[in-house]
Amino acid sequence: MSGYLRQRGLDMQTHALGKRRGHARILMYSHDTMGLGHLRRCREIAHSFVEAASEVSVLILSGSPIIGSFDFRTRVDFVRIPGVIKLRNGDYTSLNPHLDIEDTLQLRESIIRHTAESFDPDLFIVDKEPWGLRGEVRSTLEMLKQRDTPLILGLRDVMDEPAALLPEWERKNVLPALEDLYDEVWVYGIKEICDPFEGMDMQASVQMKTRYTGYLRRRVPAVGTATPHLMMTEDPFILVTAGGGGDGEGLMDWILRAYEHDPDLPYPALLVLGPFMSQENQSDFMDRAAALDRVEVITFDSRIESMMSRAAGMVSMGGYNTFCEILSFDKRALIVPRTEPRLEQYIRAKRAEELGMISMLVDDGDRDPVEMAAALRRLPSQARPSERFQPEILGGLDKVNHLASRWLERTTANRERSTRNRA
């Protein structure tokens, strides 16, 4: 079977449906094609769950090929399902060259369902895709619904522009899942900044079950030590990150052009390319950086929060996780959002710029080094995000824990009632 389960004290052998047990179990699903956003969001929420309650265990179902590179807290574990890649045309292909996509999807669906049957969660949280990748979570959702397991859909603050999201959700037949299967929808943001349902005529029943949690606060990891890098001793510096890096070549090219044009920019730069950037682009950027005195390049660091906390400012594409990190570490930031195949990053960055929280440049293909250099020179005098928002917008983890605890209490009561009825 492709994939693996790393055990950390989770008893997967005792199927405890209808029996009283000493701890609650939360199952999380993240489809994870290529990228880090979904996995990192689920991991942060999972860690928050086990920190808040000593009798909670969390299992994450993930298709990320690099999930094993991350640290996980005690009572948080994962099942790796076979990986897939989303192509630029929207199709998918298997990461395993010996499996076609249909076989891979069938295997993923089977692992997801059998894991859920065995783990028997008290709460199931699905990230972003209501039916899962190509509907792979549908049978699991229906099975858990019959068991009266609470089902939660977690959404980031922006999905896409309504003109693109509505047809996609209609094609995927999403609304029946939101209306009939899911018990709650958690939006990891605040409506006043971004609303994933904006411009959509959402059913009243869906609106009533939607909870806006606030953004998810990030912290410097308490476990392990930060990976040493030469430039890390040279404060201050700016951190340039493209997340997973699969589509981050434009940002990195533009930054390098700016330093090649103007080597006396206010701060040295540390570029984190991302593990999914092509080898060809990685090699090219490393060669260009080697010719510059004040630019350093690395591929990936699983504890990038340590570097973020030390940076004088950040330049990024503005995905959900990076936006949370910019707010959490209160960093002056320049965002260069992706505009294809989704406008998610652009919509978030545009709104944040309007509120004075960040500055933004849009890559029009020209990548004028003078324009980027000017933006980097303005960064030191830019307002910090905390000067534009109240701290409570970062209360997402507290809110998520509160919401989860209510459902876990309900599930525990139902199990105890079922046990008494059997006695």
**pLDDT of the residue at 89:** 62
Q: Is residue 17 part of a domain?
A: no
Check whether residue 265 and residue 199 sit in a common domain. Answer: no
List, in sequence order, every residue forming a beta bridge with 316; answer none if it has no partner.
241, 335
If DSSP codes are grouped into helix, strand and coil, which group holds residue 3? coil
Check whether residue 42 and residue 178 sit in a common domain. Answer: yes
Q: Is residue 4 part of a domain?
A: no
What are the φ and ψ backbone dihedral angles of 28, each rounded to 5 degrees? -125, 140
Q: Is residue 1 part of a domain?
A: no
Residue type, position 154, single letter: G
Residue type, position 303, single letter: R
Check whether residue 418 and residue 316 sit in a common domain. Answer: no
Check whether residue 361 and residue 347 sit in a common domain. Answer: yes
Check whether residue 190 and residue 247 sit in a common domain. Answer: no
User: What is the per-residue DSSP string for 92-129?
Assistant: EEESSTTS-HHHHHHHHHHHHHHHHHHH--SEEEEES-
Check whether residue 129 and residue 162 sit in a common domain. Answer: yes
Check whether residue 198 and residue 282 sit in a common domain. Answer: no
**pLDDT of the residue at 234:** 59
Check whether residue 197 and residue 237 sit in a common domain. Answer: no
**pLDDT of the residue at 11:** 38
Instruction: Give the count of alpha carbons within 13 A of 246, CB side only.
Output: 15
Q: Is residue 13 part of a domain?
A: no
Q: Is residue 110 part of a domain?
A: yes
Q: Is 175 exposed, middle or buried (0-12, 13-18, 19+ CB in 10 A)?
A: middle
Q: Is residue 412 part of a domain?
A: yes
Check whether residue 197 and residue 271 sit in a common domain. Answer: no
Residues 6 or more apart from 224 whose CB is under 8 A from it?
A: 71, 303
Check whether residue 332 and residue 414 sit in a common domain. Answer: no
CATH number assigned to the domain comprising residue 45? 3.40.50.2000
pLDDT along the chain (423 residues), means of 10: 37 38 90 77 96 95 87 94 74 76 92 97 96 95 96 94 84 92 96 88 90 94 53 75 89 98 95 92 96 94 88 94 95 94 91 95 94 97 92 94 95 76 65
Q: Is residue 288 part of a domain?
A: yes
Give the domain extent around 154: 24-216+395-422
**pLDDT of the residue at 68:** 84
Cite the beta strand spans of 264-416 per DSSP E: 269-272, 295-298, 313-316, 332-335, 359-360
Q: 269-272 and 332-335 as β-strands: parallel, antiparallel, unpaired?
A: unpaired
Q: Is residue 403 part of a domain?
A: yes
Check whether residue 359 and residue 264 sit in a common domain. Answer: yes
Q: What is the pTM of this model?
A: 0.88
Check whether residue 287 and residue 195 sit in a common domain. Answer: no
Q: 151-156 and 123-127 as β-strands: parallel, antiparallel, unpaired?
A: parallel
Number of domains in the chain: 2
